[in-house]
Amino acid sequence: MFKSKSQAAPSEEKEQETAAEKKSAKKEKSGKSGSRKPSVSELKYLGGWLMSKMARAGAKLLRSNADKVNRLNVFPVPDGDTGDNMRMTLESGLAAIENLDSDDLAEVMRVFSHGMLLGARGNSGVILSQFFAGTAKGMEGTPKADPVTLGRALEMGVDQAYKSVMTPTEGTILTVAREAVDYAVSRITPQTTIRTFFADLVGEMHESLERTPEALQVLKEAGVVDSGGAGLLYIMEGFNRALNGEEDSEDGEGSEAADRPRSSVPIPFGPDSKMEYGYCTELLIQLMNGKTDISAFDVEELKQFLSGIGDSIVCFRVDSIVKVHVHTFVPEQVLAHCRTFGEFISVKIENMSIQHTDLSGSETPPEETPAKIRNGVVAVTNGQGVRDLFLELGTNEIIEGGQTHNPSTNDFLDAFRKIPADNLFVFPNNGNILMAAQQAANIYEDAKVFVIPSKDVGAGYVALSSADLTEDDPEVILNCMKEAMAKVTTGFVSPTIRDAEIGGIQIHKGDTIGIVGKTILLSDPDRGCAAYRLAVKLLESPGKFMLTVIRGADATEEEEAVLRQCLKENCPAAEVYFIQGGQEIYPYIFIAE
């Protein structure tokens, strides 16, 4: 599947410029420095322009292979999203440097890594963003880097990536990054160039990835290599291709949902309508040294300006990037004022008269800014029924997401800003979302943020059900939640996408499996039978007598009726409750207490 080290290493037979290199060499001179952008043959140093080119090439190759990375899933179920999470994280970094025309490597890496930090999704995306954040720190004050400097910076990237994980596991993306960087650094000599350094880096990354099943038994049993490591390899292969002037002919499916045309919907806003609610205006601004003194930039002054032309203001700064949200009748004034400080990374303007009008023509008044509260709750949910359940339990802000649709660090920050609370309790409800939530909590400063380690919806549901949100002491609430989660077991029913034998369970493509935690308990060709068998196993566990069944979008009412009857007849002592959750991927989720 992946090339060997010898195949990955570039040929050193010739040094003449390719046509692409010649074209690069003819680019216009910079207005500030008067120097031309370097061609790829000048590889004793890595500068900002070349780094930007490498980043685009890395994102392009990963985009083309994201589905392959998604399929490198330990469990043979259709919930792999590592490739998509890493792709979207990397593309957030690209968006940040899109308008940054600089050959200063430190500046490019700083902006690029912060863009990735805000856009990080899933554990793999967060680890990737931390790897580049550490690398950027290693390049501070370095307008261009030689192989020694580059190697040291990458070592800092590896170190920060490891520190971002509470319990690092070998045989993962961490191992692939560490072994490749260690090898490339060990090969540095006075003759090493940026090109030969990356040849060594990518070559060893191939070898390290192929070794991951030997380091992690679960990979060996599933017959796959580590998905995060594979994603990192595609990125670095793209870097290497850019260094060697190679063009990737695969465009992939392109990119983001934002690039796809939206479907046509009726718009209840015509030529005689009255503008009643204004525009919801959101911006991400990259502060620019050429426009403002970044060190002296005052967010409060920007908030004061926005308060004069709008309301529902959210405005905060992460290093040199500013997030703005405001409801206003004059979005053009917001744009003009903000652009005096820098350039836009993204802009979104929506007509709230459309947002507040339903298809029947009835209108709802604009939301009022909520009063300050002691404790607030943010939860990630998937499915309308699950969403309603968490809202009924006191959740203030819902983030739509879950497996295959992980929210970003910035999505959490946006949700936090909407709740004027002293304390925020955050329920990721998915093990692959925990790190993004924690990363957002580390950034946010306007409240104490407590990320509840709810790795599934069952843990989050039981924890929130047990909490007294009127309690003043957040530690009391936190301890109560953790005690409740320790007593719950959540099971998932999922279709399979390939043949496998895992933990002694023989699985065939098209079967339905029952999962608890990281263990497959059963496989059955019939979905209804698999659901019943898993439910019984959960109720047979010591101390478990209550079962909440959350029916997903793919399960039918008829199927549910059969399951109800079977449990009633065969588990008469159990208390069983059914909820129409509407979640994707999993036809049934069982919460046993």
At residue 552, does pLDDT exceed 90? yes
pLDDT band at 269; cut points 50, 70, 90: low
At residue 134, does pLDDT exceed 90? yes
Question: Which range has the top average pLDDT, 92-101, 145-154, 296-305?
Answer: 145-154
At residue 350, does pLDDT exceed 90? no
CATH entry 3.30.70 includes domain 277-355 = yes
**Which of 256 and 351 is assigned the larger pLDDT?**
351
At residue 12, does pLDDT exceed 60? no
Q: Which pTM was predicted?
A: 0.71
Beta strand 448-451 pairing with 421-427: parallel
Q: How far apart are CA 369 and CA 379, in angstroms?
A: 20
Predicted confidence at residue 271, as pLDDT, reads 66
Phi/psi-derived region of residue 252, left when phi > 0, alpha when psi is between -120 and 50, beta in every other case: left
Tally of CB atoms within 10 A around 243:
25
C-alpha pair distances (Å), 591 with each of 277, 384, 530, 534, 578: 43, 18, 16, 11, 10
The candidate with the shortest Cα–Cα distance to 116, out of 104, 106, 99, 131, is 131
Q: How far apart are CA 333 and CA 507, in angstroms?
A: 60
Of the candidate ranges 19-28, 119-128, 141-150, the one whose mean pLDDT is the lowest: 19-28
Taking residues 233-239, what's their average pLDDT? 97
Q: Convert the pLDDT of each residue in 163-214 to its tens digit.
A: 998 889 999 999 999 999 999 999 999 999 999 999 999 999 999 999 999 9
CATH entry 3.30.1180 includes domain 489-592 = yes
**Which of 298 and 355 is assigned the larger pLDDT?**
298
User: Two tokens at 588?
Assistant: 């049934």
Taking residues 468-490, what's their average pLDDT? 93
Predicted confidence at residue 422, as pLDDT, reads 95
Distance between terminal CA atoms of the chain?
Answer: 44
The candidate with the shortest Cα–Cα distance to 535, out of 576, 495, 505, is 576
Predicted confidence at residue 426, as pLDDT, reads 97
User: Two tokens at 257?
Assistant: 């949902």
pLDDT band at 13; cut points 50, 70, 90: very low
At residue 361, does pLDDT exceed 60? no
**Which of 366 and 241 is assigned the larger pLDDT?**
241
Q: Convert the pLDDT of each residue in 68-101 to its tens digit.
A: 999 898 877 777 889 999 999 999 999 999 888 8
- Sign, CA dihedral 366-368-369-370, equals negative
Average pLDDT, the chain: 84
At residue 515, does pLDDT exceed 90? yes
CATH entry 1.25.40.340 includes domain 40-247 = yes
Taking residues 428-456, what's their average pLDDT? 94
Helix axis angle, 434-443 to 122-138, nearest 10° = 40
User: Two tokens at 339?
Assistant: 């652009």
At residue 226, does pLDDT exceed 50? yes
At residue 496, does pLDDT exceed 50? yes
The candidate with the shortest Cα–Cα distance to 193, out of 150, 155, 161, 157, is 150
Domain with CATH 3.40.50.510 in the chain: 373-471
Domain with CATH 3.30.1180 in the chain: 489-592
pLDDT band at 257; cut points 50, 70, 90: very low
Residue 204 and residue 183 in contact, taking contact as beta carbons nearer than 8 Å: yes
Residues 6+ apart with CB under 8 A from 516: 489, 490, 491, 492, 534, 538
Predicted confidence at residue 42, as pLDDT, reads 52
Q: How far apart are CA 397 and CA 367, in angstroms?
A: 14
pLDDT band at 251; cut points 50, 70, 90: very low
Domain with CATH 3.30.70 in the chain: 277-355
User: What dotted CATH number matches 373-471?
Assistant: 3.40.50.510
Predicted confidence at residue 323, as pLDDT, reads 77
Helix axis angle, 82-97 to 122-138, nearest 10° = 40
Task: For 67-106, give one letter per residue: b (16+ CB within 10 A) or e.
Answer: ebbbbbbbbbbbbbbbbbbbbbbbbbbbbbbbebebbbbb
At residue 265, does pLDDT exceed 50? no
CA 578 vs. chain centroid, Å, equals: 31
Domain with CATH 1.25.40.340 in the chain: 40-247
Taking residues 272-296, what's their average pLDDT? 82
Predicted confidence at residue 256, as pLDDT, reads 35
Predicted confidence at residue 196, as pLDDT, reads 95
Residue 129 has phi, psi (to 5 degrees) of: -65, -35
Residue 248 has phi, psi (to 5 degrees) of: -85, 120
Q: How far apart are CA 118 and CA 526, in angstroms?
A: 43
Taking residues 433-459, what's their average pLDDT? 94
